[in-house]
Chains A and B, each alone.
Chain A
Amino acid sequence: MDRGLDEHGPAVTLRERAARWLPFTVPALFLAVFFVLPAGTIVLTGLRPEGRLDLGTLPRVLSDPGTLRVAWFTLWQAAASTALTLVLGLPGAYALTRLRFRGRAALRAAVMVPFVLPTVVVGSAFLALLGPRSPVNAASVALLGEAAPTLDLRRTVTAILLAHVFFNYAVVVRSVGGLWEHLDPRLEDAARTLGASRWRVFREVSWPLLRPAVASSAAIVFLFTFTSFGVVLILGGPGRATIEVEIYRATVQLLNLPLASVLALLQLAAVTAALVAYGRLQRRVTRQPLRSAGSTARPPRTVGERLFLAVNLAVIVLLVLAPLLVLVERSLAVDGGYGFAHYRALFSDQRSTVLAVAPLEAIRNSVVFGLAAALVALVVGGCAATAASRPGRAGRVLDRALMLPLGTSAATVGFGFLLALARPPLDLRGSLLLVPAAQALIATPFVVRTLLPVLRSIDQRLRDAAATLGATPRRVWREVDLPIVGRAVLAAVGFSFAIAVGEFGATVFLARGQTPTMPVAIFRLLGRPGVANFGQAMAMSTILMFVTASAVAVLDRLRVGQVGRF
């Protein structure tokens, strides 16, 4: 069906053919140069230690019980983290997009903040919240007296799972919520009128429509947690390791590239299997008319709805806001009291060293790199989403392939960049282009995931009608697709900006010393002893939070054309 979409005229010129293939070639080239080439180079280097292919390491590593234990832990903690994030995030997505309440816009921006925070900062906040001196324990002592049990979740799997929810809650809320807020509520209302229970309405009306978006966000969360690094090391304790941690050790510490390559192949195999499984879930897509976001939300009406909202707000406060507040509190703590001394110190240029972190400059670098990466991701991801929304296999394969970088070790990609992009014609050593390129690699799948469900749900008849009336493909896109995907594009920009700003693993390899981003600046401050350095790192983290939240809030408020009026 719908083949006619591409055959809009009898005379297909070269230009038109090029235009039709462009949505494939741009993302494919990007992926080839910035992912396949670097990752392939480093894996092949590892498999050819003496210049000849030597697969002897393969069976040795794969039969080692230590490797199997690490692989099993990686898999189950990722599955458990994904399940927990979905269980908490799906109701959250509904609450934040379909119910109207005061502070909703601010909360929607706030849940994006975790993305940008360096793991080491978040880890520190979680240790404070999960340790014996946490407010939870203080409260239980106040209630039950000294005999109260002390809750200490430091260095447990529970701590890892909670931190994974913290980091990924926004993935579910924003990508599922992004679709949910466009679903026509009249469908649900009709089902309710016919006597269906709320649960049944969800199961039989909303769920089939949301399923592609749920599967998308589940896949992203799974890939993110599958390659979890800092969270596992800091909160799980050094005894726990994921494949990602082992690849990092083998590459960065031991310089054992054969081992790193085999582990990278193992990781790739698991990630590919996950993506194939996800592809099956995606196969059946239900098209439905979308409504504008503003028209679907309404205030909670019944007691049950208010309770539902309250529970979701409590989850957000406890799991997402509390760790952020710990950081804000620490940034203000000065010598037994509170004040702005750390902020003043950050802004008064007292350290005249080359790498002294001038906050305004770090903010500027972060914003410039973030915007550059977001635009690259928007172009690459927008093209890929366009390609994948068309009938045919190539687009779908491209779509899955673009998700591979999410499930690939940052050490593999980072070191791969250094090895593969160091010779003419691609000598990018020291080039600032590498930073947004690496960041866009991670951000692109989010753009695709955000745009694709919306693009797919556009009624093909609208396009056909426009074409029948004489519109060129370009005009059809501008007049039909663009107004509908407008909101989603802005959401995608916000998403990729946040991801780019928070990206650390590759940035730290690639950024030149004179252009530190905020996460790099925080990392530098935390690497030094001294109360002032710690306080200023916390102040810098707080600034980073506000910059991100503001950027996302502004994007959320932008409107594109007359969205939804069609």
Chain B
Amino acid sequence: MRTRARTLAGATALAMLAAACQQQDPAAIDDPEPTEDETGADDMSPPPDTIEQTTLVLMTHDSFDVDEEVLAAFTDESGIGVDLAPAGDAGATVNQAILTRDAPLGDVLFGVDNTFLSRALEADLFVAYESPELEQVDEQFVLDDEHRVTPVTRGDVCLNYDRAWFEENDVPLPDDLADLTDEAYAGRLAVMNPATSSPGLAFLLATVERFGEDGYLDFWEALVDNDVLVTDGWSEAYYDEFSATGEGDRPLVVSYASSPPAEVYYADPPPDEAPTGVIEASCFRQVEFAGILQGTEHEAEARLLIDFLIGPEFQEQLPLTMFVFPVRTDASLPEVFETHAVLPDDPLELAPETIGEGRDAWIEAWTSTVLR
């Protein structure tokens, strides 16, 4: 005997199919997808725009995050609600914004970095705005004189190393990128494909800066001979190949300057010393910007959101939500960053215009040299 309840549940599902296909009243079913309204869309739909509150859409990359209380305080104070629209990685976000320029998906974009900045500026994505809060921002990060974009975070891409492995095997740490071609580091390094990974691209740019446009491909050829491993994305390299954090057997990996404090922060109990360290000579500077998107109907509110992004509250919560560093000079760092983070004073760096001119060709040449 089958239970009545089962029969009923099954029959309900079938009734919906029957209703749509066989119903005699076409008007009721002309809609290609008649079911959404009945499937709990009620409790998922975004809050309706009320008269007294504007809701801005902030286009970001997937890694964006913010402390709930800090954001709520901004909304309370300004009356501006913020709806987040993550759009893929940094490159994908910028490209989406460019493609949808005529009918923008948001009011403000956060997450364009110095490696993609020139593409965004050339596409004329942003409305210029010079925030009064910029006075407190370290001016070396202000890379656009017209203030079409405002610097918000700094996070360098650096080689990370497995402390335990280097101690146990008594191998000296590389102190220059050129050392990586030594036999001592054969089969020890994992990097990412610059065509598919943003830290991978930053590391390629670091080698372009260090060895010059004439020399970087020779360096990469030597790395290939030294059995460098290329993965598609950061998480495969970091969790599957890096010896300090997963089951991998490579003690050197491309990651971030903020990864060692993250290893401490997310460990239970937190160790006295981070299991990983940073090779300072390999660091490439990454600055992330925000800008007001052309076509927004809420420019005044968007300006307030930009002020908020470089305001002290937002800046000070950056390290523990996005694991990047603030650009504000007066922002204090959390203790775990004070103790375990290394931030080189003078990392490798390329001007956004230089990157814009060379990027695609360098990736293409890299692909031909390393992958084929």
Contact = CB atoms under 8 A, between A and B. Distances in A.
A512 B85 contact: yes
A486 B17 CA distance: 11
A376 B14 CA distance: 13
Interface stretch (A14-22, A81-89, A157-165): A14-22
Contacts of A418: 96, 99-100, 105
Contacts of B232: 230, 233-234, 238
Interface residues of B, number: 91
Contacts of B266: 528-533
B26 A560 contact: no
A106 B196 CA distance: 38
A208 interface: no
Interface stretch (B56-64, B125-133, B208-216, B284-292): B56-64
Contact of B57 (A19, A422, A430, A437): A430
Interface string A508-534: 110111110000000110111111111
Contact of A238 (B25, B44, B230): B230
A131 B71 CA distance: 44
B372 A33 contact: no
B226 interface: no
Interface stretch (B137-145, B169-177, B234-242, B343-351): B234-242
A353 B96 contact: no
Given A372-B36, A380-B33, A382-B20, A128 B236 contact: no
Interface string B54-80: 000100101111111101000000000
Interface residues of A, number: 99
B36 A489 contact: no
Interface string B71-115: 100000000000111111001100110111001010000000000
Contacts of B84: 354-355, 512-514
A19 B196 contact: no
Contacts of B245: 529, 531, 534
A375 interface: yes
Given A372-B35, A376-B33, A530-B262, A120 B235 contact: yes
Interface string B19-58: 0111111100110111110011100111000000000010
B13 interface: yes
A383 B20 contact: yes
Contacts of A486: 10, 14
B119 interface: yes
Contact of B196 (A25, A238, A419): A238
Contacts of A18: 26
Nearest to B58: A513
Contacts of A368: 39-40, 44
A124 B240 contact: yes
B357 interface: no
B263 A531 contact: yes
A528 B262 contact: yes
Given A433-B36, A529-B323, A477 B22 contact: yes
Contacts of B234: 527
Interface string A150-171: 0000000000000000000000
A65 to B, nearest CB: 11
Nearest to A367: B40
Contacts of B71: 354
Contacts of B182: none
B22 A474 contact: yes
A513 B238 contact: no
Nearest to A447: B17
A128 B85 CA distance: 34
A508 B88 contact: yes
Nearest to A427: B103
Interface in B173-224: 193, 195-196
Nearest to A559: B2
B267 interface: yes
A120 B35 contact: no
Interface string A26-47: 1001100110000000000100
A128 B263 CA distance: 22
A527 B14 CA distance: 41
A352 interface: yes
Nearest to B269: A335
Given A353-B68, A355-B64, A529-B259, A252 B7 contact: no
Nearest to A241: B371
A254 B258 CA distance: 28
Given A128-B247, A532-B268, A559-B10, A515 B24 contact: no
29 contacts: A15-B25, A15-B26, A19-B24, A19-B26, A26-B21, A131-B247, A132-B249, A233-B196, A233-B233, A234-B232, A238-B193, A238-B231, A239-B371, A253-B196, A341-B268, A345-B268, A353-B65, A354-B65, A354-B71, A355-B65, A376-B33, A430-B83, A440-B33, A513-B64, A527-B63, A528-B323, A534-B246, A558-B10, A559-B10
